[in-house]
Structure 1
């Protein structure tokens, strides 16, 4: 299918974002507005200077360095209003580039510094997303994150929270944070609790640490999806297991470069994963921290890794197939997406034919 993959066309395509962090995706102006409203001291109130402190670029050297901006952002995410607004605006930004389904992840424990209860925090985020769903053509879910660097008992409390909010906005449980020296298996009890309650599991793994991290996520913690999985390519046997069991990979190209999970975009293994048949999805990770959008991520795959339209279409469908939604809802979204893609393809082909006729 001879379709030119322009940015304008890719932006029109219905898409998913299954791996996006709330606190990594707050608008710079919103951070400043909330700081002024609640009298919060930021390192600077100048938008340009604040951007330099929070937003990463090609000079970012590691995951630890990448994570530093979150401390600033989370200063303003300690109130119900701040959390509600961040969630609402994230869904609005996603809907504006035709993201039809998004799963927003965050760790409520990071938002308790001013006395909010974790139940209040979770509800505020869900309420912000629900309001956006009423106003924009997008559906959303929430993923609660445990944190590798915190005591495993904290992960258990967060898993209990996720279970309590299951079917009330929460669709899954995750383990995030620095991988090195913080193995997932230490948090096994939290995942046992989640699995006993039929909760979906995704785990950050294989980003800053090797395939053993992915092995633990799958075999110790029962992960249904893998966040990143960049280093899965280093273990062929495990790669085949993940492929055979159709465990989706939540690929975030730009942030993988920022955290130096890959030395450059061109060396990212996503094209190999796709060629080999793995269920690959494309996501943002952190819209603000990585200065990216879902469209940007697809354009990187197109321009730097030379993915063609049939491949992009398949990756888009993988996103909807991999959503933490009931089967019937996934089928509905996939059918809607297929119809929309067909209409866009026809429109684009007509435009191409007209342009050729006018030459």
Structure 2
């Protein structure tokens, strides 16, 4: 018999202060918002009930990263006006607050939102305004990461790096490279990363998700990555793995997404536990709340279920995300200290992960 999750344990994890460092704007819409914005545009969707639409948008049938990414055309179709972008950004931050998230870094590629005439600056202004509008009600600190796409030709990545630098005093905290890895090496975009670093902007790179450890090596040694997005296949190069651990290059791990893109077969085999045991600066993230169908609470609970993480380990990893954030040092230390104080108040006996056999709970506190 499959054990039943204890809803009190899940509620405790949701209340635990957390930080989200790897969350894509165009993959984290509410189902109701996708339905409403699609209807306003006259776009047909296969489901009109939010729960069914959410299930359909969750990508469990992809064979690889490329198929996973294909689903984003549906969301991008309703992210081409300033009003649409502001709403989606605001709702993402509100949803983060409801999930116990104190700090969130949202990433996106502005070039994907100019199809109907918005300028890159107008896109940036709309998303930043939406993030700011979402911050105040829930007390969340929200910042933005600008992505370039590996698959687009030069000078796209330089244009995105320049945009990121232009807005770094207005809410942008880093520059990123995303998209299909295989056949699109990061080294082709190295000058864009040099520009970002020259202007004192942090950089992160998607690597080791759709390609092997050599992709991570390029991200670290040719692009100067301060963090690695995913990094799932880092274990294929033990020397590089040791370098990443020793230099405290944080890993933005997205376990459920990695199962969906077939980088790992099942959650229980995810190498995040190996990296944690080695002392790596690992963080847990959703990647895309809609396409992966998870909240950050879900990801932490899954780590407890499939990897055997205790509540002490969950708390330790949660705090590491505050340490690895791209906020100025004093600000992230203040957020971490606040989170640590609140975690200390949660040290009374945690609820059991699973309910006893035959036991039922009507509600969770």
- The interval holding the TM-score normalised by the smaller chain is over 0.9
Q: 1-side partners of 2:226 and 2:302: how far apart?
A: 26
Alignment match, 1:355? none
Q: Is the 8 A contact 2:54 2:293 kept in 1?
A: no
Please state if 1:234 is matched with 2:236: yes
Q: 1-side partners of 2:301 and 2:71: how far apart?
A: 25
Alignment match, 2:361? none
Q: Is the 8 A contact 1:206 1:228 kept in 2?
A: yes
SS in structure 1 of the partner of residue 13 of structure 2: helix
SS in structure 2 of the partner of residue 163 of structure 1: helix
Please point out which of 134, 138, 143 is paired with 1:136: 138
Q: Is the 8 A contact 1:42 1:72 kept in 2?
A: no
Q: 2-side partners of 1:134 and 1:321: how far apart?
A: 23
Equivalent pairs, count = 345
Please point out which of 299, 303, 317 is paired with 1:315: 317
Q: Is the 8 A contact 1:40 1:75 kept in 2?
A: no
- Structure 1 runs not aligned, ≥5 long: 353-359
Deviates more, 1:116-125 or 1:4-13: 4-13
Runs of 4+ in 1 over 6 A off after TM superposition: none
Q: 2-side partners of 1:151 and 1:167: how far apart?
A: 28
Q: 2-side partners of 1:307 and 1:88: how far apart?
A: 32
Matches within 5 A, 1:105-254: 105-254=107-256
Q: Is the 8 A contact 1:40 1:76 kept in 2?
A: no
Alignment match, 1:27? 30
Please point out which of 331, 334, 337 is paired with 2:336: 334
Q: 1-side partners of 2:334 and 2:197: how far apart?
A: 26
* CA displacement at 1:263 relative to structure 2: 1.1
Q: Is the 8 A contact 2:55 2:293 kept in 1?
A: no
* CA displacement at 1:54 relative to structure 2: 2.2
String of CA shifts for 1:36-80, please: whole Å, max 9, x gaps. Answer: 23x2423445246644542212x3321111111100100000000
String of CA shifts for 1:315-336, please: whole Å, max 9, x gaps. Answer: 1111000000111111101110
Q: Mark the CA change 1:45 to 1:302 in structure 2 (over 3 Å): closer, same or farther.
A: closer
Deviates more, 1:130-139 or 1:225-234: 130-139
Q: Is the 8 A contact 1:176 1:203 kept in 2?
A: yes
String of CA shifts for 1:165-200, please: whole Å, max 9, x gaps. Answer: 001010100000000100000011110110010001
So what's the TM-score if we normalise by structure 2?
0.92
- Structure 2 runs not aligned, ≥5 long: 1-5, 353-365
* CA displacement at 1:164 relative to structure 2: 0.3
Q: Is the 8 A contact 2:38 2:45 kept in 1?
A: no
So what's the TM-score if we normalise by structure 1?
0.93
Matches within 5 A, 1:59-138: 59-138=61-140
Q: Is the 8 A contact 1:19 1:283 kept in 2?
A: yes
Q: 2-side partners of 1:42 and 1:286: how far apart?
A: 22
* RMSD across aligned positions (CA): 1.5
SS in structure 2 of the partner of residue 144 of structure 1: strand
Q: 2-side partners of 1:256 and 1:247: how far apart?
A: 19
Alignment match, 1:356? none
